Amino acid sequence: MATPHLNYRYNSRNSNKKVSSSGNAVEVDRFIPKSVSRNAYKSIPMLNGFDISYSELCEKSPSPERLSSPEFFNELRNTGHYESISAINEFSMSSISTSSESQATRGESGRVSRKDDTKLTKEQKNHRKNIAHSLGFQLPDRVFTFESTNTETQEKSQIMKNCLASRSSIGIQTTFDFSTLSPDVARYYIANANLRSVSPPKNFQRPVKRVKSHIPYRVLDAPCLRNDFYSNLISWSRTTNNVLVGLGCSVYIWSENDGAVSILDHQYLSEKRDLVTCVSFCPYNSYFIIGTKFGRILLYDQKEFFHSTKRDEKEPVFVFQTESFKGICCLEWFKPGDVCKFFIGEENGSVSLFEIKNLHFPLKKWNKRQKYEEEDLIGLKLQSTYQAQAQQVCGISLNEHSNLLAVGGNDNSCSLWDISNLDKPVKKFVLPHKAAVKAIAFCPWSKSLLATGGGSKDRCIKFWHTSTGTLLDEIYTSGQVTSLIWSLRHKQIVATFGFGDTKNPVLITLYSYPKLLKLLEVRSPSPLRVLSAVISPTSTAICVATNDETIRFYELWNDKEEVINEIQESGIYGSNIIEYMEGIETTDNKRLR
């Protein structure tokens, strides 16, 4: 309960009388001097027990040690709204006022006077009052009651609303000091008052578009998922919508209907002291490939496995052992004609071309061992091998016309090869970075645009013109670029990140092209790392593998939008000369003719 005002009468006989202009003494109720001296102050019986030292101690609020963080309070001090505590707590007896605004509070051990506010300006007093009102501090003149104050608040709000409505209807612009209002009333006034003609708006630059955040719509547990930058352990089938995941020595297929189904038992590779380093679905049929650390290539067929009555055997359709016995790091499919082919990148820097074809052997030899027909015998055939990088191959990407192959390596570069003649590929350009290049992606709607991403010592995404090897643009990121995926429906590109900012890690960023503005970001409260990412069959979502042994799915685009076939507009390559070479008509490059 708040202490009432202490109004004391001065009981001296001579002090009760006042001499009028006629010379007669007139009785008055009390004597209120304009100023109070120290002696007059001490002469009041009720204030004899007032302890100045106790007042000074009480005016300094005790602050726990855990709240003395300099990082927090130094920032508050620099705002200009807070003054030094020692200056506020100074107590001067000569400035004591007996007006109604100066009140005394009664404590258990004695009466304590409030500190003097006469030195504060009007703005400081209003600021303190508003801060106390916002934080719910108990003012001295506030009395606790159990009555609801909603009615009073509604009445004040209605009065303010009516006042604003009447002034706005006649075109009157209300202007006064908002610091005199309480925060609630001032907030309502600012939101509803017509302030357009009061002061001109200030010129400021608003962000073009706010970066959105995103959360996964599905998270799968993936125990024993290797935390390896050079491995590619997830794949998403275009034909069956299944997800293939390599976990240590085992491989699983996940589907919405059957859940996780074991494809490769742990014992098969563990006995050979081998492990899975790469998995990939064929985009044209039901085949998929499993690559291992020691150069084994395992060919499987989804249809044969799921329709077979002998699921427990889990034997691959075909096994190929490379001569180098080096790890299979990455794989890229393509289909020239009716035959499915794929490139593999190895740890020794070489790239090999394989073909899936029917094996023609004498029927008698095969009928003794297996009851297969001749046309059912599927195998792998090595067509060619060439040295693409000086060190380990980290990533491979093929353009839409299947005549250019980009190979990223651990030697801090990406080499661009003309594979019009598969038997004799020709190196065109070497695209430099400052770290290993794993993230490589040809643009699906611009035939001569290539994006590459560097590792932890580079952290840069570069855009190249493949016909001339020209660097078109680049953007520096906060982390190691582990994958790049172009959108089929928008002029956008997605980047996933590995090692980077541990305090504020970013997993995924969606950029616009060619402006390279951040449209969406996926952040993590813990320092996670994306190992690799693949796009969904509908090209609307991506699936990422993270180092916390989880597989996460993110929806990024809408499948109702049309797929972009090819874009022929200015600004894609950022150069009038290059756009003229690509046949893009603009008002500027017409002069080049």
pLDDT of 93 > 60? The answer is no
Confidence of residue 482 (pLDDT cuts 50, 70, 90): very high
142 or 279: which leads in pLDDT: 279
CA distance 208 to 162: 38
Confidence of residue 78 (pLDDT cuts 50, 70, 90): very low
CB 378 within 8 A of CB 339: no
Helix-, strand-, coil-residue percentages of the chain, each rounded to 5: 20, 30, 50
Retrieve residue 413's tokens.
């570069």
| Least confident segment among 75-89, 454-468, 562-576 | 75-89
CB 461 within 8 A of CB 453: yes
Compute the Cα dihedral for 163, 164, 166, 172 and give only its sign. Answer: positive
Retrieve residue 506's tokens.
């970013």
pTM, whole model, 2 decimals? 0.63
Q: Please identify which residue in the block is written with the tokens 């790239």.
A: 351
Question: Which H or E run contains 333?
Answer: strand 328-334
Per-residue pLDDT, 203: 54
CA distance 452 to 450: 7
How many residues are recorded in the chain?
593
Q: Please state, as a whole number, how many other Cβ atoms lie within 10 Å of the Cβ of residue 523.
A: 15
pLDDT of 413 > 70? The answer is yes
226 or 1: which leads in pLDDT: 226
| Least confident segment among 166-180, 311-325, 468-482 | 166-180
CB 39 within 8 A of CB 94: no
Kindly write down the DSSP assignment for every residue of 119-139, as one continuous string: TS-HHHHHHHHHHHHHHT---
Where are any strands of DSSP class E within 133-242? 212-213, 218-221, 234-236
Per-residue pLDDT, 425: 92
Q: pLDDT tens digits for 323-335?
A: 989 999 999 999 8
Q: Among 581, 586, 567, 569, which Cα is nearest to 467's? A: 581
Query: Looking at domain 238-391, what is its CATH homologous superfamily?
Result: YVTN repeat-like/Quinoprotein amine dehydrogenase (2.130.10.10)
Confidence of residue 162 (pLDDT cuts 50, 70, 90): low
Domain with residues 214-230+439-593, CATH architecture? 7 Propeller (2.130)
Sheet holding 541-546, edge to edge: 218-221, 550-555, 541-546, 530-535
Side-chain half-sphere exposure of 33, counting CA atoms within 13 A:
10
CA distance 94 to 97: 9
CA distance 131 to 183: 8
pLDDT of 184 > 80? The answer is no
Percentage of the chain beyond pLDDT 70 is 62
CB 222 within 8 A of CB 549: yes
Retrieve residue 516's tokens.
């390279």
